[in-house]
């Protein structure tokens, strides 16, 4: 697949976004290649592993991958599928659940900032600071003034990370409401997966339209050139994994990573 092939999935900064009109399925052309997805993912995984090695060696740049999506959209699954191809050395996954009492006594970026990648690292955020303009909004805990203010604070925060050498990539895993129904039903029917279900999953499902509105606003307001959002069709798991891997490889390739120079003149070394 050619580079920049996923530009149609890119969210335009400050442009209206309508998730109802973006497919949760692969385009027909991609669907026709479904038999090759698994092999293509393996190849992307090898690229990713090599690029992560360079990032780790150079220690002057970093990557922050933000994953958001409705329940069952596959945030855990995509992390497992894509990063099993990569050495855990220098890759760190962080999950952000409901904030603790101590976290609630600080600004919404406090717990997030602590977990950003160090130079040389890839950090993956399974949920993120965006929860504070999504669930908080949909549940009516904050007003429009607050979430608008937070959009600005998020843009500023991500620009600051960029200036410190952190490349930010944000992916929304886009599933349909009917696909979620199937996945929730499958969890309800499988005793080994019932533990994954929370009461809030069902409440959130009832608020689907509100969540879509909140996601649209948040992504449109924060998909800056320095920290773009991509909407990943996520009804097909192997396709979802492949697209995410390709976007990540593309992002790392754009960072012009190079093998560091030797730290001293190797011609002076005599191995005995």
Q: Is 166 in the site for a copy of itself (CB under 8 A)?
A: yes
| Piece of 89-97, 148-156, 167-175, 186-194 that binds a copy of itself (CB under 8 A) | 148-156
Q: H/E/C letters for each residue in the chain?
A: CCCCCCHHHECCCCCCCCHHHCCCCCCHHHHCCHHHHHHHHHHHHHHHHHHHHHHHHHCCCEEEEEEEECCCCCHHHHHHHHHCCCCCCCEEEEECCCCCHHHHCCCCCHHHHHCCCCCCCEEEEECCHHHHHCHHHHCCCCCHHHHHHHHHHHHHHHHHHHHCCEEEEEEEEECCHHHHHHHHHHHHHCCCCHHHCCHHHHHHHHCHHHHHHHHHHHHHHHCECCECEEEEECCCHHHHHHHHHHHHHHHHHCCCCCCCCCCCCHHHCCCC
Taking the least distance from each CB to a copy of itself, the nearer of 52 and 72 is 52
| Piece of 71-79, 158-166, 180-188, 229-237 that binds a copy of itself (CB under 8 A) | 158-166
**Smallest distance from a copy of itself to CB 149, Å:** 6
Taking the least distance from each CB to a copy of itself, the nearer of 14 and 113 is 113
Taking the least distance from each CB to a copy of itself, the nearer of 65 and 249 is 65
**Smallest distance from a copy of itself to CB 196, Å:** 32
Copy the structure tokens of residue 18.
């309508």
- What does the per-residue mask of binding to a copy of itself show for 4-33, with x meaning CB under 8 A? ------------------------------
| Piece of 113-121, 228-236, 243-251, 259-267 that binds a copy of itself (CB under 8 A) | 113-121
Among positions 54-73, residues that touch a copy of itself (CB under 8 A) are 59
Q: Of 246, 220, 218, 249, give the one whose Cα is nearest residue 233.
A: 246
- What does the per-residue mask of binding to a copy of itself show for 191-220, with x meaning CB under 8 A? ------------------------------
Query: For a copy of itself, which residue of 37, 125, 157, 211 counts as binding (CB under 8 A)?
Result: 157
Torsion over CA of 265, 270, 271 and 272, rounded to 10 degrees? -160
Q: Is 263 in the site for a copy of itself (CB under 8 A)?
A: no
Q: Is 113 in the site for a copy of itself (CB under 8 A)?
A: yes
**Smallest distance from a copy of itself to CB 55, Å:** 12
- The position carrying tokens 């600005």 is 152
Q: Is 239 in the site for a copy of itself (CB under 8 A)?
A: no
Which residues contribute to the site for a copy of itself (CB under 8 A)? 59, 102, 105-110, 113-114, 116, 118-120, 149, 153, 156-157, 159-161, 163-164, 166
């Amino acid at each position: 697949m050619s580079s920049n092939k996923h530009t149609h999935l890119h969210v335009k900064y400050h442009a209206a976004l309508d998730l109802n009109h973006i497919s949760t399925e692969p385009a027909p052309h991609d669907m026709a290649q479904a038999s090759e997805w698994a092999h293509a993912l393996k190849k992307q995984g090898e690229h990713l592993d090599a690029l992560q090695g360079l990032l780790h060696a150079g220690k002057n740049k970093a990557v922050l991958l933000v994953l958001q999506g409705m329940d069952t959209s596959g945030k855990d699954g995509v992390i497992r599928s894509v990063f099993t191809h990569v050495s855990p050395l220098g890759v760190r996954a962080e999950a952000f659940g409901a904030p603790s009492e101590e976290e609630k006594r600080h600004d919404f970026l406090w717990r997030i900032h602590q977990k950003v990648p160090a130079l040389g690292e890839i950090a993956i955020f399974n949920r993120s600071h965006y929860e504070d303009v999504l669930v908080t909004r949909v549940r009516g805990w904050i007003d429009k003034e607050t979430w608008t203010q937070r959009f600005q604070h998020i843009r500023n925060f991500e620009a600051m990370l960029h200036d410190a050498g952190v490349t930010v990539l944000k992916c929304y895993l886009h599933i349909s409401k009917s696909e979620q129904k199937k996945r929730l039903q499958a969890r309800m029917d499988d005793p080994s997966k019932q533990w994954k279900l929370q009461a809030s999953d069902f409440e959130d499902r009832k608020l689907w339209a509100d969540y879509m509105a909140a996601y649209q606003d948040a992504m449109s307001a924060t998909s800056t050139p320095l920290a773009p959002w991509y909407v990943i069709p996520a009804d097909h798991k192997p396709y979802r994994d492949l697209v995410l891997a390709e976007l990540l490889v593309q992002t790392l390739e754009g960072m012009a990573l190079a093998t560091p120079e030797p730290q001293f003149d190797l011609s002076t070394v005599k191995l005995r």
